[in-house]
Each structure stands twice: as C-alpha cells, then as structure tokens.
Amino acid sequence: MGLRPSIIEDVRAQKVFDSRGSEAVEVEVFTRAGYGRATAPMGASRGRGEAVPYPKGGVDEAVKKVEDLVAPSLSGLDATDQRLVDSVLHEVDGTPDFSNIGGNTAYAASMAVAVAAANSLGISLFKHLGGPMVYELPYPLGNVIGGGKHTKGRGPDIQEMLVLPIGAEDVLEALQANFLVHRRVGKLLLKADPAFTGGRGDEGAWATTLGTERALEVLSRACEEVSGELGFEIRPGLDVAASTLWREEKNAYVYEREGVIRNREDQIKFILGLMERFNLVYVEDPLMEEDFEGFSELAEEASKMGCLICGDDLFVTNRDRIARGAELGSANAVIIKPNQVGTLSDTLEAVELARSKGMVPVASHRSGESTDPHLAHLAVGLKCPIIKSGVLGGERVAKLNELIRIAEELGEVGRMARLPGAIRR
C-alpha cells in the first residue's frame, strides 16, 4: 500500500518582507501531492498576552529553527492531521508562549501545512478547515481613517475608524460599499482637512490631521450618503486600541492630540457618547487590556445601543482570557488572530469557545500583512460572521478578492453570515 499523498516530505523557511517592509518568516511545506506556503503577519500594537512573535535573533533565528527543529519533526506526518501537526509544534517549542521558535514561526508552519493538505486533497482551504457544509460568507469590516500608532501620533488619538456594511445582500455589494465609503471619505477630507494630501497609513486608511470627533463626523456623513445611494445600511465603528492610550503612572488614558486625560469612568462615558452620537455598530478595545470589569460595564450599556464590544488586546485569541471575559460579560465579540496563539488548532479552539459563549468571532488581519489570501478561507472555514481586513492596499485586497472567489465556488448555496440581531436595529 503506497504512502498517502498528504504525507509531509519537506519543510523549508526563508526571510521575506511584509507590507511595511519589515522582515517576516515564510514557511513552505511539501507533501507527496501538494504544496503550501504561508507568511506570518505582524501587528503594530500587540497585547501583552500574545505569543512571543520571534525567538531571540528575530527572523534569521526563526528560519534556522524551522530548518533545525521544525522540519525534521514534521517530516513524515500526515498534513491532514492538523491537531497532530500543531501538537508537535508545541512539543518542539517547549514553552507556554512559543518563545523558543516564535509564535509567528508556529503560525506560518501551521498554516502552510493546512494549505498543503488542502492542495493534496484537491479541495479549497476553507472546505479543508470547515468541512463540506460551510456556506456562510463574512461581512467585511474595513479601516477607513487611521490614527494612533498607525499615523505615528499625527492623526486622531483613536487608532482606527471602521465601516461595516451590515445591510449588504452579498459579498460584492458589501465590498463595493466599503470601497465607496473609503472613496467618499477621501473627497470629504479634502474639504474638511486643509493639511490632507491623500496620504494613507499601514492598512490603507486615510491619514488625516483631524481630531477624533471631527474625523468621525466625516466618516459618519460618508456612511449616510453611500447608504442612501446603495439602499442598505452601512455603519461606522472604532478600534480604540485603548492600551496604547493608557498611562500606568497616571492611572488614566492620555489623548495627546486632544490634550485630554480620562480616567476609567471618563473613558466609558466618552465611548458611550461616541456610540450614541455616531450610531456606532462596533467598538474594539475601548479600555486597556486588563480591565475586564470596565469592559463589562461598558458592554452592558453598549448592548442597548446595538453596538458590538470586541476584545483584541483583551483576549489575544487566548482561551483562558476568552473564558474570563465571557464569565464577566466583558464583550460580545472576539478578534481572532492566529499568530497571537501560534497554531490553527489553538485558533479553532478559541473560536469554538467564543461561539459557545455567545460571542461573535471576528477573523482579523494585522497591520503588517502579506499577500496571502488565507484569512478569507479562515473566516469562512471557521464560520466567522465578520472579517477585518482593511479596505485598500494589495495585501488587504488579496483577502477581499479571495472572498469573491469563494462566493463563486459556493454558488447558490452561499449566503452572507447571520449578524447578531441587536446590531440590526
């Protein structure tokens, strides 16, 4: 009896570059009948609970670890047995936070194995990840105006101003809506911001010198105008990235552009005020990453306004932190970033836990991205109703165009995912 076509024969790694021009590790996996490749992304703002991205020595050392440790350990395994592959990656690393081989290294290897397995079987990656009954497509959550670390402190203090086309009937409509809002915002900024030159940040979002509330006024107007033209609802959202505003020594959030300092209660009131004023549909990381109780207080009020409260730095795709947040009612949505925990199996367990607790999993890119389309397959395969992947930029559009291809493959059985009823008010 011959060897299975999905048996891993070789694993290789090399240094490449991400969308910011920073070094990144790329892993290639060769099976008897297939091939897979994946590049690790990297975020500008990272939660303290994330896996260590790279070992000491950076990407060069990560490449060496793949050659010396990962490749010999994975060779001979069946690529279709993802849990076994990922358990071996944990064993090879031998630490709780992937500080030996690096969480990014583990992610690239884990994802490359999954891609190779799908190719060996002759099926799409989303079907390999989710099974033959997967048919729902996620709504695209796009970054339209950048601030915070994405604009080096020269834009709004809040890191991302987002758009979600919750009324779209299909992927093409949804993507078109986000592109149109992005374009409309660019035109409005030419009038509203005398210093605006058409510049964009890490994720393709417009870079403006306007403050938070003035920028939100522009985004809100664009959403209303495009919603009226297309005939369905498009709503704005935020990624506050509040941990980047938090100053431990002051026990407060420091808005340097605004010249304002807010304690926890001030911050909660401020965010709730923005929700009400701008009809926000989504707010990510409104408080610092250890304030589970503050999140809970905010989430209770936000639910009355039809707004999702999402944790990224709060949860870092970590099951223990998700469980704690669920127990306290800290959020009703969870950002899912595989390289925060290292492997696809860890990611799947985090998604399953979040969903079992009634929380919406949001498959998300990182600010430093590759042109890999895999996030689209991950979102569909793991049944995430929302995918956060920017609006413009080749590395972002690669994921969005892949959603169109997945929709074409699904044909008539494909449909948009079900969003929580509370945000369809």
Note whether 215 and 185 are within 8 A (CB): no
- Which pLDDT score, from 0 to 100, does residue 180 have? 98
**Going along 350-423, which residue ranges are E strands?**
360-364, 386-388, 415-416
CATH number of the domain that 70 lies in?
A: 3.30.390.10
* Structural domain ending residue among the three candidates 122, 154, 169: 122
What amino acid occupies position 116? A
Position 44 confidence tier, pLDDT thresholds 50, 70, 90: low
Question: What does the pLDDT look like over 106-116, one tens digit per residue?
Answer: 999 999 999 99
**Going along 316-423, which residue ranges are E strands?**
333-336, 360-364, 386-388, 415-416
Q: Are residues 185 and 75 in the same domain?
A: no
Instruction: Retrieve residue 175's tokens.
Output: 């993507």
Note whether 268 and 242 are within 8 A (CB): no
- Which pLDDT score, from 0 to 100, does residue 1 have? 41
- Which pLDDT score, from 0 to 100, does residue 179 have? 97
Question: What does the pLDDT look like over 84-132, one tens digit per residue?
Answer: 999 999 999 999 999 999 999 999 999 999 999 999 999 999 999 999 8
The answer, yes or no, to whether residue 398 has pLDDT greater than 80, is yes
Nearest to 362 by CA among 321, 420, 401: 420
- Which pLDDT score, from 0 to 100, does residue 151 have? 65
Residue 130 lies in a domain: no
CATH number of the domain that 255 lies in?
A: 3.20.20.120
- Which pLDDT score, from 0 to 100, does residue 313 have? 94
Question: What does the pLDDT look like over 179-225, one tens digit per residue?
Answer: 999 999 999 999 999 988 888 887 889 999 999 999 999 999 999 99
- Which pLDDT score, from 0 to 100, does residue 344 have? 97
Residue 337 falls in the annotated catalytic set: yes
The answer, yes or no, to whether residue 425 has pLDDT greater than 50, is no
Percent of the chain with pLDDT over 70: 96
Partners of 139 in the β-ladder: 386
First-to-last alpha carbon distance for the chain, in angstroms, is: 59
Rounded Cα distance between 312 and 141, Å, is: 14
Instruction: Tell which phi-psi region holds residue 423, choosing left (phi > 0), alpha (psi between -120 and 50) or beta.
Output: alpha
Q: Are residues 149 and 115 in the same domain?
A: no
Q: Are residues 180 and 87 in the same domain?
A: no
Number of independent structural domains in the chain: 2
The answer, yes or no, to whether residue 315 has pLDDT greater than 60, is yes
Partners of 283 in the β-ladder: 238, 309
Rounded Cα distance between 224 and 278, Å, is: 10
Which entry of 28, 160, 203, 233 is annotated as an active-site residue?
203
Note whether 261 and 251 are within 8 A (CB): no
**Going along 302-381, which residue ranges are E strands?**
308-311, 333-336, 360-364
Nearest to 235 by CA among 306, 335, 156, 157: 306
More confident residue, 257 or 352: 352
Q: Which domain holds residue 22?
A: 8-122
Q: Are residues 186 and 219 in the same domain?
A: yes
Provide mean pLDDT across the span 301-327: 95
Average pLDDT of the residues of the chain: 94
Give the helix, strand, coil percentages of the chain, each rounded to 5: 45, 20, 35
Q: Are residues 148 and 74 in the same domain?
A: no
Which entry of 65, 337, 383, 399 is annotated as an active-site residue?
337
Rounded Cα distance between 375 and 330, Å, is: 26
